[in-house]
Amino acid sequence: MGKIYEHISHVYDLFWGKWSPGYVSLISETLEGQMPDKVTILDLGCGTGVLAVELARLGYTVDGVDISPQMIEMAESKATEFPQVNFKVADMVELETTEKFDCVTCTFDSINYLLEIGQLQKFMINVSTKLKPGGFFIFDSNTALLYETCQKGEFQRELGGQSFTQKLNFDPLKRLSTTTFNFSNGKKEVHHQRPYDPDEITLCLKDAGMEVIRTYGGLKGEPFLYDSKRLICVAEKPF
Ligand SMILES: C[S@@+](CC[C@H](N)C(=O)[O-])C[C@H]1O[C@@H](n2cnc3c(N)ncnc32)[C@H](O)[C@@H]1O
């Protein structure tokens, strides 16, 4: 069985890659008044670099980090014209760097790959240590409602000349979502995610020395409500 994104990386942008570039306005509005070429951003769980490259296009200096070598390979292939973006393979929970950033991002479910609250706590502390005082952490997390309502069924997909099925399942008692990709050439990938409650996230942020300054239920600025499927959060590490 392949590791996460080992195979799906090659077709990721064709189906899943369009969402995170929608973060560019929220990020640039949050950083308003700061010169893009002076701002450093760390994009954790950056995947194929769809967001990092758009931020680099605006002049921001971006470091992208992802646990999947295949996703980073795809990211590097689209970043050749932007010297101010760099990618590296690493676990975002364990990432070690002494550099401090003005902004850390982690978008499109990357946080939901952390399967235990202890991992989320450790991750948030790590994010906090990477932020300069006054820096922002902008991220999202799927709610339980998303998994309860959308994480079911089996879909046949044809993308980039590849044919595969995507089977979705959610166990509410274990709070565990499973997505199985079966490719026509026999290759297989299994992804596990879990939802986090807004209260769990707020507490982890607080324990890590950050505070929530804005939340949304969608990228058009919709308010986060009890029936939102995704929490979008702007947090700050106070001075
Ligand atoms: C749904 S993709 C989102 C990618 C990208 N942020 C985007 O918006 O398209 C989730 C990403 O999280 C990465 N990921 C999962 N667990 C990780 C970890 N512990 N450290 C770093 N990256 C991780 C996966 O490899 C994958 O690229």
Backbone phi, psi, residue 178, to 5°: -130, 125
pLDDT of residue 177: 98
* Whether 90 and 166 share a structural domain: no
Give the Cα separation of 184 and 3 in Å (integer).
Answer: 17
Residue 143 backbone dihedrals phi, psi, to 5 degrees: -90, 165
* 184 plus 201 within the same structural domain: no
Residues 105 and 130 in one domain: yes
168 and 206 co-located in one domain: no
CA of 190 to the centre of ligand 1 (A): 14
Q: Quick one: what percent of the chain has pLDDT higher than 90?
A: 98
Both 184 and 80 in one domain: the answer is no
Q: Does a structural domain hold residue 56?
A: yes
Same domain for 202 and 180: no
Longest dimension (CA), the chain: 53
- Res. 2: pLDDT tops 80: no
Residue 5 lies in a domain: no
Report field, pTM of the whole predicted structure over 0.95: yes
User: What is the tens place of the pLDDT at every residue in 137-164?
Assistant: 999 999 999 999 999 999 999 999 999 9
Residue 215 in domain: yes
Residue 1, pLDDT above cutoff 80: no
Ligand 1 pocket residues where CB is under 6 Å: 4-5, 17, 20, 45-47, 50-51, 66-68, 71, 91-93, 107-110, 113
Distance, in Å, from the CA atom of 127 to the CA atom of 95, rounded to the nearest integer, reads 9
For all residues of the chain together, what is the average pLDDT?
96
Within-domain flag for 1:
no
Atom of ligand 1 nearest to the CA of 71: 27
Give backbone dihedrals phi and psi of 71, rounded to 5 degrees, phi first.
Answer: -65, -40
Cα separation, 90 vs 83, whole angstroms:
20
Render pLDDT for 25-61 as a digit per residue (tens, 0 to 9).
999 999 999 999 999 999 999 999 999 999 999 999 9
* Residue 20 shares a structural domain with residue 82: yes
- Residue 96 Cα, ligand 1 centroid: separation in angstroms? 17
Residue 48 and residue 9 in contact, taking contact as beta carbons nearer than 8 Å: yes
Q: Say if residue 32 is in the same domain as residue 99.
A: yes
Q: Which domain holds residue 71?
A: 12-143+196-236
Question: What is the distance in A from the centroid of ligand 1 to the CA of 112?
Answer: 9
